[in-house]
Amino acid sequence: MEKPKVATTSLAGCFGCHMSLLDIDERILQLIDLVDFNKSPINDIKTFTARCAVGLIEGGCCNEENVHVLQLFREHCDILISVGDCATMGGIPAWRNTLPLKECLDEAYLNGPTVHNPSGLIPNDPELPLILNKVYPCHEVVKIDYFIPGCPPSADALWAALTALLSGKPVDLPYELLKYD
């Protein structure tokens, strides 16, 4: 039987959740036996080539490109999982949500104490995706089926959730796997 396909992406995240996924160590060999990776930074496949069973989303949406990627994932994946606190709640990038966008950009590109920007311009290359008025958690943009909390979720939590999902069993995430202090 053909192996189910998994896609992953990091939107407004720090790749920490992907690092945590790699932290499953030698179990990654088992994972490869269980699934094929499609579009993902892990194998550097840039575009979807087939319909996927599962999409793992790291990070929320801070710009229009994030939205397009997330929508693309929704269209190509049967199940979408928000992985980590940024995808689930916006996380650290969402701190800017309390400030007007102009203040954020001015601080980052014009007024910040370490800024050296003689042109006095805010970067505006057409290649740069436009930034959103605030950072959105993924479930405010598309339907999300499951959430795995954590910053990042531990490798064991990701492993437990993924293997349960792939084997069609109810996921058992004991308290220790979701406790972070």
Partner 1 sequence: MSEFENTIHTICESYGGDRARMMDIVRDVHEKYGCCSGKAMNLIARGTGAHRVEVQSVVTFYAFYSEKPKGRVVIRLCNDIVDTMFGIEHVARAFSEELGIGFGETTADGRFTLEYTPCIGMSDQAPAALINEVVVTSLSSDSVRGIVRTLRESGDPQKLVRRLGDGNNAHKLVRAMVQNGLRKKGPVVFAEMESGNALRKALALSPVEVIRDIKTARLRGRGGAGFPAGMKWEFTRAADGDRKFVMCNADEGEPGTFKDRVILTERADLMLEGMAIAGYAIGAQEGIIYLRGEYAYLRKFLENVIENRRRDGFLGKDILGKKGFHFDVRIQLGAGAYVCGEETALISSCEGLRGDPKTRPPFPAQKGYLEQPTVVNNVETFCCVARILEKGPGWFVEMGSKGSPGTKVLSISGDCNSPGVYEFPMGVTMAEVLREAGADDVQAVQVGGPSREIVGPEGFERVICFDDLATGGAIVILNSSRNITEMARKYMDFFVEESCGYCTPCRVGNVLMMKKLEDILDGKGQLSDLDYLHDLAETVKTASRCGLGQASPNPILTTLERFRPFYEKLLRTHPKNFDPSFDLRAAVAEAEGLVGRKSAAIET
Site of interaction with partner 1 (CB under 8 A) = 64-65, 67-68, 71, 74-75, 101-102, 105, 122, 124, 126, 129-134, 136, 139-143
DSSP 169: P
Q: What one-character-per-residue DSSP string does 46-95 give? A: -S--S-EEEEEEESBEEEHHHHHHHHHHHHHEEEEEEEHHHHHH-TGGGG
Question: Which lies closer to partner 1 via its Cβ, residue 20 or residue 66?
Answer: 66
Question: Which lies closer to partner 1 via its Cβ, residue 114 or residue 124?
Answer: 124
Question: Which lies closer to partner 1 via its Cβ, residue 39 or residue 134?
Answer: 134
Minimum separation from the CB atom of position 117 to partner 1 (A):
15
SS3 148: strand
Q: Would the CA dihedral through 52, 170, 163, 156 be positive or negative?
A: positive
Minimum separation from the CB atom of position 108 to partner 1 (A):
12
Minimum separation from the CB atom of position 159 to partner 1 (A):
27
